[in-house]
């Protein structure tokens, strides 16, 4: 009995040590980025690495706002990201409700065809999409990126799988009480789907905030560019200001981290138990 307990205790300790080691390895790049953001350009790649700079160069966090229009870039990125996130939450939850709780002809086939688009890389239809946006007069506008990212097959799949775990009896009882499908979606499905909505919010926010290729293709005017494109402005033809790049990267990371910390409680909630609340 004692041997069994000691083995279980040893295995737990081994698992904890492994998890801590993996966590440290994953956090090392972020620690290096934070350290490099407080160094002069010539000190960034010194070896051995000085994780704590003896003379922190806080001026980097001042220069990033003056060397490039970073305020404009942050505003543009926040604008696109917030609008895209809200639209994806609306369209994904709305379509998922139809695919999960309504009965209509060819429902499953339509869902299968829509989800199958996930397997197609964006690079395959990137050029036709660009030509279409240009013909519609949306080139060099934020509306082009917003329209392209307002719908997502992954979001519909995620929300539908959650809605399938909610008992159909809730919807049937609401219909008997005279509620319309819109009211059921708004008053019953959305309040019960906080874990799924939080997960989709995190994924959408991170993707939209960090998107580089889309803004690079559709936005050429400086006043329209996002923060990911703006980071390239610290790279000249012959050199790169790595201290400023790292400082701007730290600033760009803060909103993503804040969103995750705010929504992590809902992110880890049990989906099945949430569907039975009320």
**DSSP secondary structure, 247-268, as one string:** HHHHHHHHHHHHHHHHHHHHHT
Q: What is the CATH number of domain 63-274?
A: 1.10.3720.10
CB–CB of 189/93 below 8 Å? Answer: yes
**pTM (two decimals):** 0.84
Residue whose structure tokens are 């319309």: 180
If one counts every other C-beta atom within 10 angstroms of the C-beta of residue 110, the result is 14
Question: Given CA atoms 149, 151, 157, 158 in this order, what sign does their dihedral have?
Answer: positive
> In 3-state terms, what secondary structure has residue 223?
helix
Tokens describing residue 180: 């319309």
- Nearest CA-CA partner of 245 in 72, 41, 47, 42: 41
If one counts every other C-beta atom within 10 angstroms of the C-beta of residue 21, the result is 10
- What does each C-alpha distance from 41 to 14, 44, 46, 244, 267 come to in angstroms? 41, 6, 10, 8, 39
Tokens describing residue 190: 């959305």
Using CB atoms within 10 Å of the CB of residue 198, give its burial: 0 to 12 exposed, 13 to 18 middle, 19+ buried.
Answer: buried
- pLDDT (tens, 9 = 90+) of the chain, 278 residues, equals 566 666 777 778 888 889 999 999 998 888 888 888 888 888 878 788 788 888 888 888 988 888 888 899 999 999 999 999 999 999 999 999 999 888 888 888 999 998 888 888 888 888 888 898 888 888 999 999 999 899 889 999 989 988 988 888 888 888 888 888 888 888 888 888 888 888 899 899 999 999 988 898 898 888 899 998 888 888 765 567 888 888 988 999 999 988 888 887 777 664 444 344 43
Rounded distance, CA 92 to CA 160, Å? Answer: 9
Rounded distance, CA 88 to CA 35, Å? Answer: 36
| Residue ranges of domains in the chain | 63-274
CB–CB of 204/85 below 8 Å? Answer: yes
């Amino acid at each position: 009995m004692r041997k069994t307990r000691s083995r279980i205790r040893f295995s737990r300790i081994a698992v904890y040590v492994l998890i801590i080691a993996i966590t440290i390895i994953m956090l090392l790049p972020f620690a290096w980025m934070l350290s490099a953001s407080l160094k002069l350009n010539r000190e960034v790649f010194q070896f051995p690495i000085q994780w704590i700079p003896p003379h922190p160069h806080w001026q980097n966090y001042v220069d990033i706002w003056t060397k490039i229009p970073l305020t404009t870039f942050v505003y543009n990125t926040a604008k696109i990201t917030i609008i895209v996130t809200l639209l994806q939450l609306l369209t994904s939850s709305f379509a998922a409700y139809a695919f999960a709780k309504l009965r209509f002809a060819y429902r499953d086939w339509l869902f299968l065809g829509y989800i199958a688009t996930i397997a197609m890389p964006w690079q395959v239809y990137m050029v036709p999409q660009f030509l279409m946006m240009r013909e519609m007069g949306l080139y060099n506008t934020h509306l082009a990126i917003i329209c392209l990212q307002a719908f997502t097959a992954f979001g519909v799949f995620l929300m539908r799988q959650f809605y399938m775990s909610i008992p159909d009896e809730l919807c049937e009882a609401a219909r008997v009480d005279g509620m319309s499908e819109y009211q059921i979606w708004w008053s019953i499905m959305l309040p019960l789907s906080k874990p799924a909505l939080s997960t989709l919010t995190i994924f959408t926010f991170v993707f939209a905030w960090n998107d580089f290729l889309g803004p690079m293709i559709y936005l050429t005017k400086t006043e329209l560019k996002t923060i990911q494109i703006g980071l390239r402005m610290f790279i000249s033809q012959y050199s790169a200001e790595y201290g400023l790049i790292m400082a701007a990267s730290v600033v760009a990371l803060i909103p993503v981290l804040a969103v995750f910390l705010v929504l992590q409680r809902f992110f880890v909630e049990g989906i099945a138990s949430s569907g039975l609340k009320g």
